[in-house]
Amino acid sequence: MRRMGIEAIYRKRRTSVPAKGHTIYPYLLSGVVVERPNQVWAADITYLPMARGFVYLVAILDLYSRKTLAWRTSTTMTSDFCIEAVQEALTRFGRPEIFNTDQGSPFTAEAFTDVLKAHGVAISMDGKGRWVDNVFIERLWRSVKYEEVYLHAYESPKEVNAALTRYFAFYNTRRPHQALDQRTPDALYFADSTVKWAA
């Protein structure tokens, strides 16, 4: 089917569609070595299936430690839930030097970028087709889906949120990461004396 160009016709969840008139910021991570917490944060959106329908999930990730700093779900693809997540991360963990996203409309909306500008954060956006730039958050999506979401058929967004609350607590505090020398994200993030404990 792939060779013949045959594929099923169905509505696909497109989470990285740019909006006309939105400002696209330059990519700032070229050649950057991430070597401390709060140096670079990244955000991305994915969708999670339920028994009927799906919800969108946004997460804010510290690239150095892989710690999930904040997350939100929504049944619509707007900037609101992304803004809530980034505001929580900024309130609880201070601010990053660079914040990297794709060029999806929730991240290019002025309401979202204005929050980052107000905190003096440099805004970085992946170039078209540069999926590798967000590889760490893509790995997070794989973990969330295969270790939690795909094992259940949630009936409502409320059930999804309850499950994700448990999962992200596990992911940050108890799940060792091979790439982190078997440490947890929290252990690496809070090992740096310049960061504060979450409220």
Q: pLDDT by residue (tens digit) across 34-64?
A: 999 999 999 999 999 999 999 999 999 999 9
pLDDT at 199: 47
Strand stretches in 76-128, DSSP E = 98-101, 122-125
Q: Whole-prediction pTM value?
A: 0.84
- pLDDT tens digits along 137-180: 889 999 999 999 999 999 999 999 999 999 999 999 998 887 77
Which residues does 192 contact at the CB level (< 8 Å), separation at least 6?
Answer: 36, 37
- pLDDT tens digits along 77-124: 889 999 999 999 999 999 999 999 998 989 999 999 999 999 999 999
pLDDT at 105: 87
Lateral strand order in the sheet of 40-49? 68-74, 54-62, 40-49, 98-101, 122-125
In the numeric block, which tokens belong to residue 36?
């401390």
The residue behind tokens 């929580």 is: 88
Q: pLDDT at residue 18 above 70? A: no
Contact criterion met (CB below 8 Å) for 50 and 155: yes
Q: Higher-confidence residue: 19 or 65?
A: 65
pLDDT at 12: 45
Which residues does 147 contact at the CB level (< 8 Å), separation at least 6?
Answer: 167
Contact criterion met (CB below 8 Å) for 177 and 170: no
CA 44/CA 184 separation, integer angstroms: 21
23, amino acid identity: T
User: The domain that contains 166 carries what CATH number?
Assistant: 3.30.420.10
88 inside domain:
yes
62 inside domain:
yes
Question: For the chain, how many structural domains are there in total?
Answer: 1
CA 175/CA 91 separation, integer angstroms: 25
101 inside domain:
yes
The residue behind tokens 């991360």 is: 89
13 inside domain:
no
Range of the structural domain that residue 65 is part of: 40-187
pLDDT at 110: 94
Contact criterion met (CB below 8 Å) for 110 and 126: no
17 inside domain:
no
25 inside domain:
no
139 inside domain:
yes
12 inside domain:
no
